[in-house]
Amino acid sequence: MKVAVLGFGVVGRGVFDMIEKAQGMEVGYVLVRPGKVDAEYKTDSLEKILSDSSVDAVAEVMGGIEPARSYAEKAINAGKHFVTSNKALVAAHGLELSALAREKGVAFLFSAACGGGVPFLHNLACAVKTDKVNSLGGILNGTTNYMLDAMQSKGWSYEEALKDAQMLGYAEADPTADVTGLDALRKIMLACAVGFDVLPNEGLLNEGIDSLTAEDVEDFKKRGLTCRLLAKGERRERGVSAYVEPWLLESSAPECAVLKNYNMAKYEGECSGPMVFMGQGAGRYPTASAVLRDLSYIVSGEYYMLSDKAAAGAADNSACFHNYYVRLPKAFADEFKCADKQEDGADVRLITEKLSVSEMHAVAKKIRAEGAKVFFAGLEMEK
């Protein structure tokens, strides 16, 4: 199988190295920016790649929506299998690209776009062929998990944890997508599309960790709780729910054993029961290994993760109820029915009665609009 790699950044170099070592695979071309063509296998011309009939597959690892989307369309139209690590691309255009790939009889796979090196989407796609999956999700963002682990184990502030994550290359210069939960949200969109045949692109809710302080973490520890950023998707009576929230867990929960920048993805099948997948969620070779597995699935004849029934839909989070831990100024404490309330200076730390995810996010938005600082995290009171 001859593969053209689009992009030569962190992941692209890893994909290049792994293809060179893999049996039965070779790199045809690497697409780089004009002016960066410094080796025979590099080119800045997509047309050159697509017009070469010896190229079987294109692996896109550039990131971003354009030009990735138009490159994908061109590659598929040219009869090339298409593999990508690009979650923004698949969240926005995966349905149409997968449908086009089916029409052209070529593959459209995106393992690396959800869970990095963790083979989650592939296993989910296998599972739904013979089992019914009703819920899925987990720790899908390595950057924030690294930060949460550091804040918990080292007592660091949010700013210190972010700076360290950036120094180690886990967080980008602009960490917004990671710390607000948007990155995890895109991944849960893809997982819902594979697991439920619904790619939710409306009604999604994401709360990240950007409101978290060292004092909050100190308080979690006193309560014997550990914070993780969880993405959750569920099949509902009508449609699906899909959201991202910080979550407080008892230390014995498997999620708390997920340290550093690791990911842990999970689905629950009616027959299989819960199935959990843990590994590195990012990084050159872990992510590249997911791209390489996609290429080998193509060799085995597995071309799609999205079924031909997958369609866009709206998420509805109004029927998901759980308790919340909330830290906010005393003046706003009456916004919630509380199971527990502890004053902390000018703030109050509450455990709410159960309320819906959509209500919680709406109340937090309203309070923040008045200039107040709020942190909230889901938790399950019963065991």
Any idea which residues carry the catalytic annotation? 187
Q: How far is the CB of 146 from a second copy (least distance, A)?
A: 14
356 binds a second copy (CB under 8 A): no
Q: List the interface residues with a second copy, window 201-220 (CB under 8 A).
A: none
Among 39, 257, 331, 381, binds a second copy (CB under 8 A): 257
Closer residue to a second copy, CB minimum distance, 64 or 155: 155
Q: Which stretch binds a second copy (CB under 8 A): 57-65, 78-86, 154-162, 278-286?
A: 278-286
138 binds a second copy (CB under 8 A): no
Q: List the interface residues with a second copy, window 284-313 (CB under 8 A).
A: 285-286, 288-290, 292-293, 295-297, 299-302
Q: How far is the CB of 19 from a second copy (least distance, A)?
A: 8
Among 7, 12, 28, 117, binds a second copy (CB under 8 A): 117
Nearest-angstrom CA–CA distance, 136 and 264: 11
For residues 278 and 262, is the Cβ–Cβ distance under 8 A? yes
Closer residue to a second copy, CB minimum distance, 133 or 205: 133
137 binds a second copy (CB under 8 A): no
Q: How far is the CB of 307 from a second copy (least distance, A)?
A: 10
Among 7, 12, 14, 378, binds a second copy (CB under 8 A): 14
Q: How far is the CB of 139 from a second copy (least distance, A)?
A: 12
Q: Which stretch binds a second copy (CB under 8 A): 121-129, 140-148, 203-211, 355-363?
A: 121-129
Closer residue to a second copy, CB minimum distance, 102 or 163: 102
Closer residue to a second copy, CB minimum distance, 46 or 230: 230
252 binds a second copy (CB under 8 A): yes
Q: Which stretch binds a second copy (CB under 8 A): 15-23, 102-110, 311-319, 374-382?
A: 15-23
Closer residue to a second copy, CB minimum distance, 83 or 374: 83
HSE, CB side, 13 Å, CA atoms: give it for residue 274.
9
Neighbouring-strand partners of residue 338: 352
Nearest-angstrom CA–CA distance, 190 and 196: 10
Which residues, at least 6 apart from 330, have a Cβ–Cβ distance to it below 8 Å?
A: 343, 346, 347, 348
With b for 16 or more beta-carbon neighbours within 10 A and e for fewer, the 207-233 pattern comes to bbbebbbbebbebbeeeebbbbbbbbb
- Number of residues forming the site for a second copy (CB under 8 A): 48
Neighbouring-strand partners of residue 244: 206, 231
Q: How far is the CB of 377 from a second copy (least distance, A)?
A: 20
Closer residue to a second copy, CB minimum distance, 260 or 341: 260
The residue to which tokens 């950023």 are assigned? 229
Instruction: Tell me the two tokens of residue 27.
Output: 């790199």
Burial class (CB in 10 A: 0-12, 13-18, 19+), 47: exposed
Among 131, 197, 215, 359, binds a second copy (CB under 8 A): 131
Closer residue to a second copy, CB minimum distance, 3 or 199: 3
256 binds a second copy (CB under 8 A): yes
**How many angstroms separate the Cα of 117 from the Cα of each of 164, 293, 309?**
22, 9, 27
The residue to which tokens 């009508």 are assigned? 238
DSSP-derived secondary structure for 360-381? HHHHHHHHHHTT---EEEEE--
Q: Which stretch binds a second copy (CB under 8 A): 21-29, 56-64, 178-186, 328-336?
A: 21-29
119 binds a second copy (CB under 8 A): yes
DSSP-derived secondary structure for 248-276? EEETTSGGGG--TTEEEEEEEETTTEEEE
The residue to which tokens 């410094």 are assigned? 38
Closer residue to a second copy, CB minimum distance, 7 or 269: 269
For residues 327 and 346, is the Cβ–Cβ distance under 8 A? no
Neighbouring C-beta atoms of residue 164, cutoff 10 Å: 16
Neighbouring-strand partners of residue 324: 378
Burial class (CB in 10 A: 0-12, 13-18, 19+), 309: exposed
Interface residue list for a second copy (CB under 8 A):
14, 18, 22-23, 25, 117-119, 122-123, 126-127, 129-131, 252-254, 256-258, 269-280, 283, 285-286, 288-290, 292-293, 295-297, 299-302
